[in-house]
Chains A and B, each alone.
Chain A
Amino acid sequence: MSSDVVIRAEGLVKIYRTDAVETLALRGVDLSIHKGEFTAVAGPSGSGKSTLLHLLGGLDRPTSGEVFLEGKALSKLHPEELARLRLERIGFVFQAHNLIPVLTVLENVTFALELRGVPARERERRAREVLAELGIEKYAQQFPHRLSGGEQQRVAVARAVVGDPAVVLADEPTASLDGENSRALIDLMRRLNETRGTTFFFATHDARLLDRVKRLLILEDGRIVSERVQA
């Protein structure tokens, strides 16, 4: 395995079972995410994008197959070890409502650093630096409900990158945004990818954003059906 591989997935299968129904969400996905990549996985609703991101981020376990994060097999980890791994090595951006409403913007961004035991002064310095980079430092003391949807998602991106994770996984981060805000958010993520070298892997079904990614995977019916690298 190449040393710059951050995440490797082998034969990922995910079946959701209810009493009467069995749904095959992923049908054997193999992929590698390399350090510094800016990758999108696109596909229609129900194609398995969110499931794939949950498995890659250790939020859910595959029915079969394995995910390796920096060479570590996630299926062998206890839920608490997985939580620790997420805290230290993965940044997450979810579709919406993913900020903690009772914490200010600054506290939301420093939250994961606080869980990691980073000293208060250091975490505030790092958080303010990222907020400034994303142009939202002026909202540091505001509570999330006072911010627009686009601003809230920028705060979520700030929170995801502030801890210098191995990879940021974003599940349809633009789903609740209009076209302009969606493009702005993706551009911002791309800029962070270029300036900080942060690895991004995000899911989207918005075709207008796909020209902004370096690598594009198309997921259909639980399988990666095409892959292309773009300039």
Chain B
Amino acid sequence: MRYALRNIKRAKRRAVYTFLATFYPALILVIMFGFAAGEMQSLFDSATKLETGHLQIRSAKELSGGSIPIFALPEGLVDELAHSDLLEFWTLRLDLPALAAIGSRSYGVVVQGVEPEKIRRISPVPGLVVQGRYIGGSGEAVVGEELARLLNLAVGDALVLLSAHPEAGMGAGVVMVVGIFRAPQAEMGRTIVQVSLDTAQDLVRRENAVTSVVAYVAGVTGPWHASRIEKAAAELEKILPPGLAVKKFAELAPEVAVFMQIARPVLTAFSAIFFILGGLVVLNSFYLAVLERTRELGVIRALGASRKWIMAALFWEVLVLSGSGAVLGALLGTGLIALVEKLGGLRLPGAYSEYLRAFGVDPILHLRVSPGEVAGAALAMIGVAVLSAWYPARRAARLDPVEAMRYVL
């Protein structure tokens, strides 16, 4: 250890290179973890709050054409859910494909029958209303800005809804537009008409008709709690009557789930480039160190040091340098993430911000990193550095003492 520390002091420039070669990759990886977690949190929040919930209870039937099957809410299920401690919150929804028309204009939409009072707790739509107000009861609707533009709608207009569900047939009704909301996603703004649940049930002429029970699992704050969602889904399956099934977030928003699945490996692979570069610097640095110290290592070997001792001396050196570099890099990354969060998150630049908005993602990114990720980044870099030093250390340990003492650089 002392020999290792003295060698670090002896070759300061090389020590600095090795330090930086481990510092930057660890720093970059931690920041990337922060970005990945932030993006995944945004995607998860927007998908679950706007659309899917953590899971949904639906009819087990499959309908062609993409419509969600309608089922009558079984007696007792509401009580069962109310008494279940698995769910933090749940609400009913009836989604119907429909044609929205006013005057000579019409547009294909999805009528979402929701429980207005309950959904306020979780959905951002009531907060996105930019004209008028959110729905309060029967016969009222809110529409997105894009649909309002397409149909030339204004608050106070009467909107005709013609639903056409494969199981319920045609239905018609008139609602009053009480509010216009600014959708975080253009597609949603064009296609979603939110009405009260009973208004939607009138369109299909069925009391108690729903397409989903949208549920939020207790204790789930982000995609990293996927196992809690799985566990809650499995528990719910046990209490559901025949004909109903639980659909999890990953099935309800597969594109978001896939993105979340690949985001981290892609970022990690990208970081691996920096790790490889860092490893090459360490390899080069220690290879040169062994060359420069060949005579000295020959003397040490001649005096009776074992191969293990020689390797250990070099590994101590790489451990001290890469350990301090990787740990400080990871800590600085954590500090920068904490600072960004303290300042309110990272407002993403224009084009990227618009891109995220199209996916319904908040363009302010909230970075986060877990202690496990920080430790993982630092340890991975130290591991790469030690592996990189393996070859020079092995070469040093296998030096022939006589040849080594004759060596002139």
Contact = CB atoms under 8 A, between A and B. Distances in A.
B301 interface: yes
Contact of B7 (A79, A85, A102): A102
A112 B10 contact: no
Contact of B304 (A87, A97, A100): A87
B3 A60 contact: no
A87 B401 CA distance: 13
A86 interface: yes
Contacts of B7: 102
B307 interface: yes
A86 B9 contact: no
A87 B6 contact: no
A103 interface: yes
Given A100-B296, A102-B9, A59 B302 contact: yes
Q: For the side of the interface on A, what is the size category?
A: 20 to 34
A54 B402 contact: yes
A92 B405 CA distance: 13
Contacts of B303: 86-87, 92, 111-112, 115, 159
Contacts, number: 60
A87 B300 CA distance: 10
Contacts of B299: 94, 97-100
B295 interface: yes
Contacts of B9: 102
B307 to A, nearest CB: 7
Nearest to B403: A60
Interface residues of B, number: 21
B221 interface: no
A100 B3 contact: yes
Contact of B305 (A83, A85, A92, A99): A83
A97 B305 contact: no
Contact of A103 (B3, B304, B306, B402): B3
B304 A84 contact: yes
Nearest to B4: A102
A22 B319 CA distance: 44
B12 interface: no
B391 interface: no
A159 B305 CA distance: 14
Interface string B189-216: 0000000000000000000000000000
Given A59-B401, A102-B9, A107 B304 contact: no
B402 A83 contact: no
B121 interface: no
Interface string A70-105: 000000000110011111101010100111111100
Nearest to A80: B306
Nearest to A159: B303
B259 interface: no
Nearest to B401: A59
B309 interface: yes
B401 A84 contact: no
Contacts of B306: 80, 83-84, 115
B303, B305, B401, B405 interface centre (most CB from chain A within 10 Å): B303
Contacts of A102: 3, 6-7, 9-10
Contacts of B3: 100, 102-103
B2 interface: yes
Contacts of A92: 302-303
Contacts of A83: 301, 304-307
A115 B296 contact: no
B334 to A, nearest CB: 35
A97 B307 contact: no
B302 A115 contact: no
13 contacts: A79-B307, A83-B307, A84-B304, A87-B305, A98-B299, A100-B3, A100-B299, A102-B7, A102-B9, A103-B6, A112-B303, A115-B303, A115-B304
Interface of B: 2-3, 6-7, 9-10, 295-296, 299-307, 309, 401-402, 405
Q: Which 10 A-B pairs have the closest CB atoms?
A: A87-B304, A102-B6, A86-B304, A83-B304, A98-B299, A59-B402, A59-B401, A60-B402, A102-B10, A112-B303
Given A87-B304, A102-B9, 6 more contacts: A54-B402, A79-B307, A83-B306, A86-B304, A100-B296, A115-B304
